[in-house]
Amino acid sequence: MLMNAAEYRESLRSLSPRLFVDGQRITSVADAPSLAPGIAAVGTSYDFAHDPALATLMTARQSEGGPLVNRMLHVNATNQDLLWKLEAVRVLCRESGCAQRYLAHDALNGIFQATARIDADRGTDYHQRFRAYLADVQERDLAIGIAMTDAKGDRSLRPSAQANPDTYVHVVGRRPGGIVISGTKAIVTGAPYMHQFLVMPCRAMQADDAAFAVCCAVPADAPGVTIVARPAGRPGEADAIFSARYGQSTGVVLFDNVFVPDDQVFLNGEWMHSGFLTSTYATHHRHSCIGARAGFGDLLIGAGALMIEANGLDPSRHGHIRDAMVELISIVEGFFACGVAASTYGIADPAGSAQPEPIYANVGKLMLATKIYDMQRLAHHVSGGLVVSLPGPDEDHNPETRADLQAVLGGRADVPASHRLAVGRLMEDLTASYQAGWYSIISLHGGGSPEAMKREIWRNYPVAEKRDFVRQLVDRGLAGPAAVAVAEGDQPGKCCDTGCEAPPAKVAE
Amino acid sequence: MLMNAAEYRESLRSLSPRLFVDGQRITSVADAPSLAPGIAAVGTSYDFAHDPALATLMTARQSEGGPLVNRMLHVNATNQDLLWKLEAVRVLCRESGCAQRYLAHDALNGIFQATARIDADRGTDYHQRFRAYLADVQERDLAIGIAMTDAKGDRSLRPSAQANPDTYVHVVGRRPGGIVISGTKAIVTGAPYMHQFLVMPCRAMQADDAAFAVCCAVPADAPGVTIVARPAGRPGEADAIFSARYGQSTGVVLFDNVFVPDDQVFLNGEWMHSGFLTSTYATHHRHSCIGARAGFGDLLIGAGALMIEANGLDPSRHGHIRDAMVELISIVEGFFACGVAASTYGIADPAGSAQPEPIYANVGKLMLATKIYDMQRLAHHVSGGLVVSLPGPDEDHNPETRADLQAVLGGRADVPASHRLAVGRLMEDLTASYQAGWYSIISLHGGGSPEAMKREIWRNYPVAEKRDFVRQLVDRGLAGPAAVAVAEGDQPGKCCDTGCEAPPAKVAE
Amino acid sequence: MLMNAAEYRESLRSLSPRLFVDGQRITSVADAPSLAPGIAAVGTSYDFAHDPALATLMTARQSEGGPLVNRMLHVNATNQDLLWKLEAVRVLCRESGCAQRYLAHDALNGIFQATARIDADRGTDYHQRFRAYLADVQERDLAIGIAMTDAKGDRSLRPSAQANPDTYVHVVGRRPGGIVISGTKAIVTGAPYMHQFLVMPCRAMQADDAAFAVCCAVPADAPGVTIVARPAGRPGEADAIFSARYGQSTGVVLFDNVFVPDDQVFLNGEWMHSGFLTSTYATHHRHSCIGARAGFGDLLIGAGALMIEANGLDPSRHGHIRDAMVELISIVEGFFACGVAASTYGIADPAGSAQPEPIYANVGKLMLATKIYDMQRLAHHVSGGLVVSLPGPDEDHNPETRADLQAVLGGRADVPASHRLAVGRLMEDLTASYQAGWYSIISLHGGGSPEAMKREIWRNYPVAEKRDFVRQLVDRGLAGPAAVAVAEGDQPGKCCDTGCEAPPAKVAE
Amino acid sequence: MLMNAAEYRESLRSLSPRLFVDGQRITSVADAPSLAPGIAAVGTSYDFAHDPALATLMTARQSEGGPLVNRMLHVNATNQDLLWKLEAVRVLCRESGCAQRYLAHDALNGIFQATARIDADRGTDYHQRFRAYLADVQERDLAIGIAMTDAKGDRSLRPSAQANPDTYVHVVGRRPGGIVISGTKAIVTGAPYMHQFLVMPCRAMQADDAAFAVCCAVPADAPGVTIVARPAGRPGEADAIFSARYGQSTGVVLFDNVFVPDDQVFLNGEWMHSGFLTSTYATHHRHSCIGARAGFGDLLIGAGALMIEANGLDPSRHGHIRDAMVELISIVEGFFACGVAASTYGIADPAGSAQPEPIYANVGKLMLATKIYDMQRLAHHVSGGLVVSLPGPDEDHNPETRADLQAVLGGRADVPASHRLAVGRLMEDLTASYQAGWYSIISLHGGGSPEAMKREIWRNYPVAEKRDFVRQLVDRGLAGPAAVAVAEGDQPGKCCDTGCEAPPAKVAE
């Protein structure tokens, strides 16, 4: 049952979360102006699933002959699925800035793999339980928030050593048919307008931390859940050309003795598997982030081209403008290419699903995390300085100044001042506003900070194999000159026997 | 008569500019909440002049035994003055984000040099006229806005070829005792709370553009002047820890048949000198920008250190945190060093004043223009992701959530959540808000866009001299091996005779 | 008939090119010590084709059931072929530094596409002629040098305007059964040890330049051909651990009234197609360059790891060493990912072959062109300063110092000084020698200089489409707030109808 | 007694060091072709001291009325001295690539400061002893090599824990009138053609390492000293346009029971002062490195301009060529500016001398360490690809090809091919040869690797002061809005009392 955006919005009326936005209790999420841009952004993921032209990207079947489900709730079966998902996220975020719903995809895929692995190791039956859950959320086409990043308290201490254990979510007890959890998740994207939360551990755990190794699904309005959030985007701001329409709300979610029935629990104390679950989710999520920020890059590229046109400049004649656009394009397509490579070299998981190749997923995320700032710089470069002195939108209705400003603030003869101002405000909205700051910080830290990506790259890369390959070269180099070796029928290819078992990147067969 | 900040604010009551902020007419600048942060920021330049510990930096005498004047209105006599001015701007902007008043300094210095040159070339008497003007503004300790950047209209056409000539300010006629000007200046920093504007040309002109070659002083409330601006900073926003206190307003200033008495006119039709005036101002201004952004850098460095502390991290143990701080420091001190070098190698002008060495001034401005984005990245890096999900300040007073949030959002045991949140909001204010965007764009485009700096560097650098020096090396290299040459008493130093007339950077004597 | 390296070397005896290396006439290419490293490097492409483990990568069939041919002579039929070729080039260059033979692949693919296009436009029959030629070189498994970059003379003048027309290769006349060409190709990789040259135009031409629009195959020892080259690698240098074994010779090839039979001619005066042939070759070649430099990157990564180990350092404990390695890895895999994306999104040519997607091919080449210098920096970073003061290899046999040096120049207890010195010399050979300089410059300028890539990216990117997409967002933003729009069932997805005809990057179906 | 280059060379005949170059014993340093480029490079520091136009830079007096001494042996008395030294090093290295002798300056200055400090702390009399030594070397105008970097052995162990103590130089005993030292210094610049070595510790020591805390002067031919080195530059290579004339030899120096008389000993067991001596030397040396590499930058800038001219290109018309030159200039002047700032803000040492401000000295060295690779990239960028296929110099005398190559390899009509080839070879020599690699690695690691600079910047920067300054801003921000504060006469300047005691960078008074 694929909902559309309007149905999704309506569906939120069936929930009554305890929710505060900017200190005010929100009683109807569907009607709150402060959340409308967030609901609209998530809504794109619903509407696009009904667009025939996008059917391949936006929908999928979990099994041959099974029902169509939204791509954002689909567990990838093949590398082609990974590529379609990547492209789907890009298309969604080009429209909405950030559609937020891909986090659900990333978590569902991570839990799918991890539960199979835990069962194999511990004899549990989480995987079947999760498959039933998966089928249900696909059928109901839910919006699911990912509650992963704990509040963390003193960062130099492990979860179980915190003075206040509620700085991390953890199991505090058991009631018939389920567990009881408490604690705080500090950064939950889209929290106010989700149907459910998937609670996940945010790090590897040790035996002492067993109570903190918990993964489960919780309805947004389960008793004991409190959501504290900020508005989504810049609702109601007249100069927010883009983010009055689409935005993201990031919230803190407090769990206070929340009961979770067993069939919604997918990890409960198996601390030794917490790290795998976390890093597998992270690999999916970094891959999705690449698509998301490429979509945002499309917005900047388009806005830059529009601004150049409004200013009356021609990139073919103004080399530095063209160079800035090419640099912007190269950044966006450069990290997107890493997402493509992570798909093309996707890895089949024993659970039967496909996951992105982790090195490329991490290299791409690392690239975008730092390059987002250059993207802003380049957007500013091509826009010119006008952006800082744009009269505010209220000026548009000031009878005393309106005509004069219109007369002198235009650019090319065929570009009216009002259009140039609107484009300038769009650029400000995307690159020089609170919303712009959100995009930067979420790009840098979302899905893990640069240090985390570096660790993963180092952990996964076949450095030892390359070292050994070069060691052979040195040994051969010391043994004698090449020319003779060739003449004598030496086989330089021989060392490659080793090389080819684990070839440079990954050799497809 | 050095005013202090309170006196400066009061002095604004004597003016009645026609001023609109966000579409509303402002009747009392001194009392407008929307402008208070701007007045406070400019005010620092007044108050600091009374601080004994800062006397050397903040005040100067234009002549031996003359009265003390504010450094921001002083024409530099020596290279030491240039250095003191640079440091003064840094100290002011560390306090205020951007004190804005150094633009007056830059313009006064540029006009001082240009008028002497015009007089020498054209037999005019602008320089004496300007000296009288200078003494007056120093005596009255005025705040002067620089009205330089025209609206420009179609950027592919020169001023005199514009369909609407009012896209540039120009002389439209003469009345007894003075000239009449019309047109639009599009980016005037601090426009709403200035006593006067210095109108300046923004480019080199050709003979057809003679009417556009005009430089003069105009009171902010001269008949025919209209100012359209946005609020300064983020006045009244509860989470604007910094920019509710200090901010900058950038405005559009419309001139409609404004009369300017002759003794306030410093360029009028001498189009061939327009380029010199513009570029001389630019050299001073780029030099000042270096100090300004270094002061902003100090804010980021301090805020980063505070955030790290609040998060409970120790840069000595977390290498990537220390590396990020060192990179931030190296960026700030790297471009500030260019400002120091431009001072140390300052150039004596025939007019009797000192100007910054242009290559270093431009290299430094070019560096900060692009590195400001890296500064934001590094500030975000050391802050962590919390900045994006900070509950808003209204939450601080929400009895239903306040206690719970305080309990879990702290960092180290000795850092209460309220402090950590405040630091996080400061960081957001400085690096992820509309105000942050303003700092970035003004850094990139203020004082000229990167392309302008590149042109100036290329125009001023002794490339031909270095080419000729190397040509000699090649000729010597072709003539024979060095060893023999040395043995035969060849004089490698000889070629340096040339070299030393115009040595590598600039050899002080 | 797939030759192996030894057979390839022997096959060179059947040719008698007029060849000078360092001013000396070479009479037997197969036996010249100065060329041995070059022959060995090309030889890897022959030997690897016989390695069963590499069969998929190194060989292919041009048609179903056709004979196995070397991948380096294969015209790609599918996107999978593009990926296998990319990986094949990486594996070859990891072994040999640069196997050089992929240029033949790139030219054969470019001519395949161009001849079909010329025939369709001009009614010629080049394509069939070329297919016969292709089958022949595949059957004989030839090494083919690409003679493309003309000497160019005065770069501000077109070919036909040069004072000396021989600065470009051009048709000077016709003899029965063929054409006669003269002129100079200035940068021909591997020139001394090739069986044939493919002469290709290096730019778009105009009508006046028709005589310069010529593409044809010429045996290396055709009468009138003279090759002037430098040694391949650093043959015979005792400290050239790597490049005494494998190297590249780049030569100037002079054509003096050389007769070319018609069946070897694939472009002759059709000047309007010269640009297409050039840019199509360039797209294939830039794609191959990505694989080649990734292979070189593998060498640096392995050498870096080996050096770290020899120095007794542990990247897990020395964060800056690990960071440098991760940066090196990220650079290499970052540009390689662009090659993968260019394969995955490969484009079917009307001629029936597949070509790399040009934007990704150009972005990847642009990335490696500038990052090769960072790769050297990082390799030096992890190696430490010892590389500059390594005693030379002759010292290894000096009885007066050998024992003392061995005693003190070791690193970790289990790493003898001789091994550490060998690794240090390898690093010097790869990153601080003439050979290292060759890798840098060829990476920067080979396959076109950065400016050429930027032009291609700008020419191919769908900027207008993205601009129009954002224009709709602005128009919608001006039309009214989003919240209402959503409520009223507005269809944000609608604009995507357009978007999806030409989706963000390229949506595979 | 200021020697000139010829006298310096002759003076080497009075020494008989035990010296091996490439495995051969050298009996006469002054006559060894393999060392001639090194002697010539050091020679520039002698000859330039006699050039009247350079007198201010190249010579100084240690005391009022004292004799003129070479700047390279002068202990700085003022900040102006620091600037002159910086400029002197630049002028020398522009001529010679690297004049090497400034290391003596750096060590003499470091020991001058350290001995005064040790005496004050330990009651020793090293400082007077050193002053006598200083006067002597100034009078004799010696060339002094700095033997600092030990061989280090297993880098994870301290000196006293090494299996072989000879991996570090240390005191092995005492004989009447002096000490006896043994061990290995691994990277000694200019070792073969120095009169003396100054042995210095390369790190902070602990009590166990007391025997390793030794600083003393040793004649190059003292019994027990063995020097193992490589040739200086590329002597005798016909295509080494530059480095056949000027070069650097870096050597390993082995000390085997070398006796050092007490009056040549300046540290002997005072392990707690080893770190200060090392880091003080490093500060001087990093400052000098800035001047040195700026001189090398001048060579590249000049060579680039020459190459552009020879290729017939005009940077004013080819924007990417101009941009590359501006980037090259900005890099060189950017780090040089740090050297200027370190001079302008130089610090008076209690010993009575002046030392460079350490933050700027380290920021500048860090900048050049990494940017040297970009300098090579930019030099290659403007040179074009021809550099890789230049026919070798032997081809110039090949009668069979010479005329043809000359005819086609020229550029602009007025640039003969021979000149263009010479410029191309110069560029290859400077940026793509063994010598080029030496410049890169010595820039990266010489004077300490990047990690060392980062540590010094972090250690010296007033981070705590900036943190406290911002803490006050936060506290004020929380206390209430700015507007009110200003109205009430709050004194924002007050906090600056603190600020001004230790101002942003360093406020000169």
Residue C508 has pLDDT above 60, yes or no: no
Does residue A110 sit at the C interface (CB-CB below 8 Å)? no
* pTM across the whole model: 0.94
CA of C74 vs chain A CAs: smallest distance (Å): 18
- Go through C61-77 and write b for each residue having 16 or more CB atoms within 10 A of its CB, e for each that does not: ebeeeeebbbbbbbbbb
Cα(B467)–Cα(D426) distance, integer angstroms: 13
Same domain, B323 and B391: yes
- Measure CB to CB from residue C167 to each of D252, D388, D408 and give the nearest one: D408
Order the strands of the C196-199 sheet from edge to edge.
C144-147, C196-199, C214-219, C265-268
- Residue D275 pLDDT: 97
Nearest CA-CA partner of B83 in B110, B103, B60, B117: B60
Residue B7 within a domain: no
Comparing CA positions, the residue from B196, B90, B219 lying closest to residue B143 is: B196
D333 in contact with C at a CB cutoff of 8 Å? no
User: H or E stretch including D219?
Assistant: strand D214-219
Q: Which of C373, C457, C465, B449 is nearest to A327 (CA)?
A: C457
Please indicate if any CB of chain D lies within 8 Å of the CB of C406: no
Look at B384 and A449 and tell me if their CB atoms are within 8 Å.
Answer: yes
Shortest distance, CA D186 to any CA of chain B (angstroms): 27
At B491, is the pLDDT very low, low, confident or very high (cuts 50, 70, 90)?
A: very low
Reported as a single tens digit per residue, the pLDDT across A33-69 is 999 999 999 999 999 999 999 999 999 999 999 999 9
Q: Are residues D451 and D473 in the same domain?
A: no
Cβ contact B477–D53 (<8 Å) = no
Phi, psi (deg, nearest 5) at residue A21: -125, 125
Say whether D377 and C380 touch across the interface (CB within 8 A): no
Task: Please indicate, yes or no, whether residues D336 and D437 belong to a single structural domain of this protein.
Answer: yes
B189, amino acid identity: T
> Is the minimum CB–CB distance between B319 and chain C shorter than 8 Å?
yes
Q: Give how far Cα C234 sits from Cα of B366, D21, D392, D440, Å.
A: 42, 20, 14, 20
Q: Report if residue D25 sits inside a domain.
A: no
C375 in the same domain as C483: no
Both tokens assigned to A234: 């810049």
Q: How confident is the model at residue B316 (pLDDT cuts 50, 70, 90)?
A: confident
Yes or no: say if D361 and D283 are a contact pair by the CB < 8 Å rule: yes
> Cα separation of C422 and A485, whole Å?
19
Count of structural domains, chain B: 2
Both B469 and B360 in a single domain?
no
Could you give the CA distance from residue C209 to residue C167 in angstroms, rounded to a whole number? 13
Q: Could you give the ipTM of this predicted complex?
A: 0.93
Neighbours of chain C (3+ CB pairs under 8 A): A, B, D
Which phi and psi angles does D466 have, rounded to 5°? -70, -35
* Residues A289, A315 within the same domain: yes
Whether D376 and C156 lie within 8 Å, measured CB to CB: no
Based on the fold, state whether residues B368 and B428 are members of the same structural domain. yes
What's the angle, vertex CA C292, arms to CA C366 and CA A468, rounded to 5?
125
- Residue D333 maps to which CATH number? 1.20.140.10
Chains meeting D at 3+ CB pairs closer than 8 A? A, B, C
Tell me the three state secondary structure of residue C164.
Answer: coil
Average pLDDT over residues C178-195: 97
Token pair 């839910």 is at which residue?
A142
Determine whether B175 is exposed, middle or buried from the number of CB atoms within 10 Å of its CB (0-12, 13-18, 19+).
exposed
What is the DSSP secondary-structure string of B402-417? Answer: HHHHHHHS--STTS-H
CA closest to D436 among chain C residues: C432
pLDDT (average), residues A459-484: 81
Q: Are residues C306 and C423 in the same domain?
A: yes
Q: How far is D423 from chain B (nearest CA, A)?
A: 7
* C-beta separation of C72 from C109 below 8 A: no
Q: Do D385 and C149 touch (CB under 8 A)?
A: yes
Nearest CA distance, B252 vs chain A (angstrom): 7
Structural domain contains residue A247 = no
pLDDT at residue D488 in the model:
37
pLDDT in tens, chain D (509 residues): 899 999 999 999 999 999 999 999 999 999 999 999 999 999 999 999 999 999 999 999 999 999 999 999 999 999 999 999 999 999 999 999 999 999 999 999 999 999 999 999 999 999 999 999 999 999 999 999 999 999 998 888 899 999 999 999 999 999 999 999 999 999 999 999 999 999 999 999 999 999 999 999 999 999 999 999 999 999 988 888 899 999 999 999 999 999 999 999 999 999 999 999 999 999 999 999 999 999 999 999 999 999 999 888 889 888 999 999 999 999 999 999 999 999 999 999 999 999 999 999 999 999 999 999 999 999 999 999 888 778 888 888 899 998 889 888 887 778 888 889 999 999 999 999 988 999 999 999 998 999 999 999 999 999 999 999 999 988 887 665 444 333 333 333 332 332 222 333 333 33
Query: pLDDT by residue (tens digit) across B72-83?
Result: 999 999 999 999
**Confidence category of residue A415, pLDDT binned at 50, 70, 90:** confident
Provide Rg for chain C, Cα atoms.
25
Q: Which residues of B touch A156 (CB under 8 A)?
A: 312-314
For residues C22 and D391, give the distance between their C-alpha atoms in angstroms, rounded to a whole number: 7
Please check whether residue D81 lies inside any domain of the structure: no
What is the rounded (10 degree) CA torsion for B16, B18, B19, B23? 140
Domain assignment present for residue D144? The answer is no
Is C503 a residue whose pLDDT tops 60? no
| C319 close to B (CB below 8 A) | yes
Whether A85 is covered by a domain: the verdict is: no
pLDDT for res A390: 82
Return the closest-CA partner of residue D405 out of D390, D388, D424, D415. Answer: D390
Confidence class of residue C479 from pLDDT cuts 50, 70 and 90? low
Q: In a 3-state reduction of DSSP, which class is residue B245?
A: coil
D83 contacts B508 by C-beta, under 8 angstroms: yes
C316 touches chain B (CB under 8 A): no
Distance from CA of B250 to the nearest CA of A (A): 5
Does a structural domain hold residue D75?
A: no
- The span from the CA of A186 to the CA of A146, in Å, is 11
What is the nearest CA distance from A323 to chain D, expressed in angstroms?
A: 9
**Are B461 and D329 a contacting pair, CB within 8 Å?**
yes
Contacts with A27 from chain B: Cβ below 8 Å: none
Q: Residue D389's pLDDT is what?
A: 74
Average pLDDT for chain C: 91
Residue A495 has what pLDDT?
29
Taking the C-alpha atoms of residue A5 and residue C494, their distance in angstroms, rounded to an integer, is: 13
User: Whole-angstrom Cα distance, residue D473 to residue B95?
Assistant: 8
Residues 412-471 of B with CB under 8 A from A: 412-413, 428, 431-434, 436-438, 440-442, 444-446, 449-451, 454
Given a cut of 80, whether residue A21 has pLDDT beyond it is yes
Give the closest of C39, C478, C503 to A422, CB-based: C478
- Mean pLDDT taken over chain A: 91
Chain C: residue whose CA lies nearest to A420: C474
- Residue range(s) defining the domain that contains residue A333: 277-460
Taking CA atoms, what residue in B is nearest to A448? B385
- Which pLDDT does position B155 carry in this prediction? 82
User: How many other C-beta atoms can be found within 10 angstroms of the C-beta atom of residue D63?
Assistant: 8
Number of Cβ within 10 Å of residue B495's Cβ equals 17
- Chain A: give the shortest CA distance to residue D323, in Å: 9
- pLDDT per residue over B341-385, tens digit each? 999 999 999 999 999 999 999 999 999 999 999 999 999 999 998
Q: Average pLDDT in the B130-144 region?
A: 98
Interface test with C, best of A3, A286, A326 (most C CBs within 10 A): A326
CB interface of C with D, residues 34-93, below 8 Å: none
Residue A323 included in any domain: yes
Give yes or no for a contact between C296 and C332, defined as CB atoms under 8 angstroms apart: no
Q: Do B439 and B497 fall within a single domain?
A: no
SS (H, E, C) C38-103: HHHHHHHHHHHHHCHHHHHHHEEECCCCCCEEEHHHCCCCCHHHHHHHHHHHHHHHHHHCCCCCHH
Q: Where are the alpha helices (DSSP H) in D62-194?
A: 79-96, 102-122, 126-140
Residue with tokens 């602005």: C474
The number of C-alpha atoms within 13 Å of C422 and in the hemisphere containing its C-beta is: 19
Report the alpha-carbon distance of residue C164 to residue C254 in Å, rounded. Answer: 14
Per the structure block, which two tokens stand in for B246? 């200090």
Taking the Cβ of residue A319 and every Cβ of chain D, the question of whether any pair is shorter than 8 Å is answered with yes
Judged by a CB distance cut-off of 8 A, whether residue D319 touches chain A is: yes
Write down the residue that tokens 């609209």 correspond to.
A40
Q: For residue C385, give the nearest of D187, D412, D432 by CB distance.
A: D187
Instruction: State whether A388 and B432 contact (CB < 8 Å).
Output: no
In DSSP terms, which residues pair with D146 in a beta bridge? D198
**CB < 8 Å to C320, chain D:** 450-451, 454
CA distances from D428 to B481, C230, D243, D320, D382 (A): 17, 14, 11, 21, 13
B contact test, residue of D478, D486, D494, D497 with most B CBs within 10 A: D486
Cα D477 to chain centroid, rounded: 47
User: Is the pLDDT at B480 greater than 70, yes or no?
Assistant: no
Asked whether residue D417 falls in the same domain as residue D496, the answer is: no
Least reliable range by pLDDT among A261-265, B121-125, C150-154:
C150-154
Based on the domain organization, do C331 and C469 belong to the same domain?
A: no
Are D382 and D325 within one domain?
Answer: yes
Measure the CA–CA gap between A137 and A133, rounded to whole angstroms. Answer: 6
pLDDT at B417: 87
Q: What is the pLDDT of residues A250-298, one digit of tens each?
A: 999 999 999 999 999 999 999 999 999 999 999 999 999 999 999 999 9
Buried (b) or exposed (e) across B405-440, using 16+ Cβ within 10 A? Answer: bebbbbbbeebebebbbbbbbbbbbbbbbbbbbbbb
Chain C contacts of B319, Cβ < 8 Å?
319-320
The string of pLDDT tens digits covering residues A140-182 is 999 999 999 999 988 888 999 999 999 999 999 999 999 999 9
